[in-house]
Amino acid sequence: MTHATVFSIVPTPVGPLTLVGEGEALVGLYFDNAAVSASPPSEWTRDDRRLRPAAQQLAEYFAGLRTTFDLPLAPRGTAFRRAVWDELLRIPYGETTTYGALARKLGKPAAQRAVGGANHHNPISIIIPCHRVIGADGSLTGYGGLVSRKRVLLDLEARGAPTRSRDGRTPRLDGAAQLVLPEPP
C-alpha cells in the first residue's frame, strides 16, 4: 500500500527544516540546503497538522527539553545503510562516536568509509543523529547539513539533558519558547 507524501517546513535555530511523512511515519528531515527543501516535488502535499508531533518534538529538542524522539521512522535505504542508521539511534544524547567505532559495532571494521557514506545519506537528520559522528582525531568532519550546524547541535547537547522539577516532572515549553506552526487551511 502506498501512502501520499506530505511535508511541512518548520523554523528552527539551525534554519528551516523540511519534514516529510508517509502514512504515520516520518521518512525525511532535511536542512534548507537540500534540493528537496528548496523545491518539494509537486506530488507532495503540505500538511502541517499531520507532521505536528515531529515539529513539536523538534521544538522541545531545541529548547533543551527533549533528549530522545518518540516518532515512527521509515528511512529508505539499503540494508547496510539502515544498519548504520540503527546504530546512530543508539548513540546517547550528548555523546559522540567515530566512523571507525560504528564500523566495528557493525562487525565491519574496514568499512569506515562506507559508514561515512551511509551517514551522509541519512534521510532523517537530527532525529537519526548523524551529527554525533566525528573524525577519529575528534574533528568535526563533513556534515550534509553544514559543519557549522553540526557544531550547534553538538553544543546544544553538550549543555546537558533537561532537569526535572521538584515534583519530578520534566519541564514543558512555555508559550514564549513553543514553536508556532501555521494553521492548516
Beta bridge partners, 45, equal 6
- Residue 125's contacts (CB-CB under 8 Å, 6 or more residues apart) are 17, 29, 30, 31, 131, 144, 145
Of residues 63, 91, 128, 130, which has the active-site annotation?
130
> If you search the block for the grid coordinates 514564549, which residue do you land on?
176
Nearest C-alpha neighbor of 19 from the set 162, 179, 185: 179
Q: 130 an active-site residue?
A: yes
C-alpha 105/C-alpha 66 separation (Å) is 26
End-to-end CA distance of the chain: 27
Phi and psi angles of residue 23, each rounded to the nearest 5 degrees, phi first: 60, -130
Catalytic annotation, residues: 130
